[in-house]
């Protein structure tokens, strides 16, 4: 093992290393990093170390390549990979990644964040659907799932809204089937359901009888007239009866 370019027995290194760390943390300032006991100037965010400094030259930095970033001054020899906002994790890009900042993801529409660090979301899940006999008490948000509530007694739902059962009796009808969690009551027309059709039928029959009677009377009259005309024609025109002017 080598420290500061000199060979050291492994067993004697522990206290030395501790001292070294303390020493270096004390010596390297905020804009420097420690590499092998030497303090080198950091690279700016958006860059990384290409070559560590030595006694004669400062740190050599290069900028990060595509899909990699460093968001703070650093002594890294590789930029960090950008987070991928993957639709299979229920995510989409809120802020694209560039050299100096990581991507920021947000839940897809209709999804909420399962795992968030500040504004960063790393996994999202689809909003739950409320079950039949439940209603949506609170719609989901970016950070919270849908909140469902149970429908109160006397109502039913398809999972969105509770609707009260139809009260057949108050409509003058009869309950054929009472309501369930998911379906309304079924009504049938009540005791006097036949009255209206009966009135219509009676009216219909009356109209028919009257019509038929009228038709028969008119026809009979016509036949009578025609026979009358043949035997006793009205206004007979007989020129022979005109008095002659002499
Ligand atoms: C990188 O993105 C951050 C956040 O959107 C923005 O503040 C910054 O200006 C961008 N930098 C570059 C070099 O485009
Ligand atoms: C529905 O939401 C209200 C507030 O919006 C709350 O007081 C109530 O407890 C909720 N009910 C259920 C079943 O979550």
Distance 161 CA to ligand 2 centre (A): 14
Asked whether this chain's domains 82-126 and 134-189 adopt the same fold, the reply is: yes
Distance 103 CA to ligand 1 centre (A): 10
Question: Taking the domains of the chain in order of start, what are their residue ranges?
Answer: 1-79, 82-126, 134-189
Residue 55: how many CA atoms within 13 Å on its side-chain side? 1
Distance 106 CA to ligand 2 centre (A): 27
Instruction: Identify whether the C-beta of residue 165 lies closer than 8 Å to the C-beta of residue 177.
Output: no
For position 1, what pLDDT does the model report? 37
For position 6, what pLDDT does the model report? 39
Q: Kindly report, residue by residue over 1-50, the tens digit of the pLDDT.
A: 344 443 444 444 444 444 444 454 557 999 999 999 999 999 999 999 99
pLDDT band of 196, cuts 50, 70, 90: low
From residue 185, give the alpha-carbon distance in Å to each of 158, 170, 173, 175, 179.
Answer: 14, 13, 11, 7, 4
Q: Which residues line ligand 2 (CB under 6 A)?
A: 137-138, 147, 149
Beta carbon of 95 within 6 Å of any ligand 1 atom: yes
Ligand nearest to the CA of 134: 2
Provide the 8-state DSSP code for 120: E
Q: Kindly report, residue by residue over 38-82, the tens digit of the pLDDT.
A: 999 999 999 999 999 999 999 999 999 999 999 999 999 999 999
Helices (H) and strands (E) in the chain, counts: 2, 18
Beta carbon of 101 within 6 Å of any ligand 1 atom: yes
The fourth-level CATH superfamily of domain 82-126 is: Tumor Necrosis Factor Receptor, subunit A, domain 2 (2.10.50.10)
Q: Kindly report, residue by residue over 168-192, the tens digit of the pLDDT.
A: 999 989 999 999 989 999 999 876 6
Token readout for 165 is 């059962």
66 Rama class: left (phi>0) / alpha (psi -120 to 50) / beta? beta
pLDDT band of 228, cuts 50, 70, 90: low
Provide the 8-state DSSP code for 61: E
Residues 212, 213, 216, 221, CA torsion sign? negative
pLDDT band of 159, cuts 50, 70, 90: very high
Distance 85 CA to ligand 1 centre (A): 17
For position 227, what pLDDT does the model report? 61
Which CATH number does the domain 1-79 belong to among 2.10.50.10, 2.40.10.10, 1.10.10.10, 3.90.950.10?
Answer: 2.10.50.10
Q: CATH fold of 134-189, please?
A: Tumor Necrosis Factor Receptor, subunit A; domain 2 (2.10.50)
Ligand 2 pocket test: which of 128, 133, 147, 150 has the largest number of ligand atoms within 8 Å of its C-beta? 147
What mean pLDDT is reported for the chain?
Answer: 83
- Which has the higher per-residue pLDDT, 2 or 212? 212
Q: Which secondary-structure segment (H or E) carries 212?
A: helix 195-231
Burial 148-170, CB ≥16 within 10 A → b, else e: beebeeebbbeeeebeebeebee
Ligand nearest to the CA of 101: 1
Alpha-carbon distance 126 to 218, whole Å? 80
From residue 146, give the alpha-carbon distance in Å to each of 90, 110, 175.
Answer: 16, 10, 35
Distance 124 CA to ligand 1 centre (A): 25
């Amino acid at each position: 093992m080598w420290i500061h370019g000199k060979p050291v027995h492994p067993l004697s290194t522990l206290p030395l290393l501790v001292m070294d760390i303390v020493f270096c943390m004390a010596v390297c300032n905020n804009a420097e990093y420690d590499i092998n006991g030497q303090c080198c100037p950091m690279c700016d965010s958006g860059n990384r170390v290409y070559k560590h400094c030595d006694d004669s030259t400062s740190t050599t930095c290069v900028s990060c390549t595509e899909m990699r970033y460093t968001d703070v001054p650093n002594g890294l020899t590789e930029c960090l990979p950008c987070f991928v906002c993957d639709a299979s994790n229920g995510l989409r890009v809120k802020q694209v990644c560039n050299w100096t900042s990581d991507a920021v993801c947000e839940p897809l529409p209709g999804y909420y964040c399962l795992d968030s660090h500040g504004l960063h979301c790393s996994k999202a899940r689809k909003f739950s659907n409320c079950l039949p006999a439940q209603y949506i008490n609170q719609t989901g948000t970016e950070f919270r799932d849908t909140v469902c509530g149970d429908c109160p007694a006397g109502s039913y739902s398809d999972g969105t809204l509770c609707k009260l059962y139809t009260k057949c009796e108050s409509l003058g009808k009869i309950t054929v089937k009472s309501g369930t969690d998911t379906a309304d009551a079924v009504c049938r027309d009540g005791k006097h359901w036949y009255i209206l059709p009966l009135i219509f039928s009676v009216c219909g029959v009356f109209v028919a009888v009257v019509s038929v009677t009228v038709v028969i009377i008119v026809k009979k009259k016509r036949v009578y007239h025609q026979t009358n005309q043949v035997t006793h024609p009205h206004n007979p025109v007989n020129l022979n009866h005109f008095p002659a002017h002499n």
